[in-house]
Amino acid sequence: MVSVPLGQHAGRGEQFGVYLHVPFCTTRCDYCAFATWTDRHHLQKDYLAACRTDIERLVAGGMPPATSVFVGGGTPSLMPPAELVEVLDLIPRSANCEVTVEANPDTVTPELADVFASGGVTRMSLGVQSMVPSVLASLGRTHDPDNVRRSVELLRSAGIPTFNLDLIYGGAGETLDDWRRTLDAALELEPPHVSAYALTVEPGTALADDVARHPDDDDQADKYLAACDALEGAGLAWYEISNWARPGHECRHNRLYWSMGDYQAVGCAGHSHRAGRRFWNVRTPERYIDAVGRDVSPVAGDESLDADGRRLEALQLAVRTRAGVPASALPVDELDGLVEVAGGSAGHVPDDGGRLVLTVQGRLLANEVALRLR
């Protein structure tokens, strides 16, 4: 691994992220709209080779050292761990870089945990979704809940510093008691971080085609409130609408996204943001391998926001976080009970303006609040 002190090349300690996309899965979840494939495992070696070449060219072109790296998918833990670490080793990283790899609990082995730990992986994100077998089946998930417990034990034994449990609520047939069972089972593992997302219906998915399985808004609201009670009661503080963590275990890479920082994607379908310009790579692994092999840019398109567009997008992201937004960005008198002054009273905006933060009820209506940003 190329390691440099934070700020030595990035200047003044700026945050910079690298996202590596792994597009391979054994099965496709019914709700998944990501760029993943279940029938292209024969491309794995060529794909990793293309990623290595792409990274080398990006570094030669002046890509700064990463303060965070996130390997997502797909199912990154399907890749041979040593080969994935070889790719990560090519990414210049700050001395305290956060390196996250997503994993399906069924694929975590002692070898994988040990190789990742010795290879500089500092954080794992386990795709748990539910701890109730019938709910997993309704989501099209195939993993065994017992393997979640085993995976956590393996990660701790290997010395990987932190991990996340990724949960989803609102699946067809999931009762409120089912969701509470999932929360209780997850908290028994004493996780440092939990992400809990409301199931969403994405066009083109199997879920989209089955209206009978679409989630109910009121049911999801009840489950969100249950998550807030359980997670915060166990000492995990919310810092973004769908994310809770113990102190010091917040995901640095996701915070970079929410603060509109710069990041570079490697791999097919990856999205990047550099100096106000967003751009994205070709969608399929075949096209990515071909472009890199021909020394052609894999970028498929881009867009740039003007100054006002960037300002508004920054507010739309910030309002979802515990940091909140400047009081001037929201008509506080119209949002009684939905926002509160950070560190102050709900009905009083201090002379310096202060910052407004969503209340629990406000988080339930975050999209409506965002429409009032100015």
Residue with tokens 């932190």: 162
Name the β-bridge partners of 279.
Answer: 272, 302
Report how far residue 171's alpha carbon sits from residue 167's, in angstroms, rounded to the nearest whole number: 11
DSSP state of 208: T
Mean of the pLDDT values across residues 94-102?
97
pLDDT tens-digit map of 234-256: 999 999 999 999 999 999 999 99
Interior angle at CA 313, CA 226 and CA 125, nearest 5 = 45
Do the bridges between strand 243-245 and strand 237-240 make them parallel or antiparallel, or are there none, so unpaired?
A: antiparallel
Contact yes or no for 69/101 (Cβ under 8 A)? no
pLDDT tens-digit map of 254-296: 999 999 999 999 999 999 999 899 999 999 999 999 999 999 9
Q: Which listed CATH number (3.10.20.740, 3.30.460.10, 3.20.20.70, 3.40.190.10) goes with 3-258?
A: 3.20.20.70
Q: Is the pLDDT of residue 12 over 60?
A: no
Domain ranges of the chain: 3-258, 324-370
Interior angle at CA 282, CA 278 and CA 284, nearest 5 = 140
pLDDT tens-digit map of 27-41: 999 899 999 999 999
The closest alpha carbon to 87, from 118, 55, 123, belongs to 55
CA-based end-to-end distance of the chain: 44
pLDDT tens-digit map of 222-233: 999 999 999 999
Each as own residue / partner, the long-range contacts of residues 38-44 (CB below 8 Å, 24 or more positions apart, any chain) are: 40/285, 40/286, 41/78, 43/285, 43/286, 43/289, 44/79
Do the bridges between strand 299-304 and strand 277-281 make them parallel or antiparallel, or are there none, so unpaired?
A: antiparallel
Is this prediction's pTM over 0.85? yes
Read off φ and ψ for residue 182, nearest 5 degrees.
-65, -45
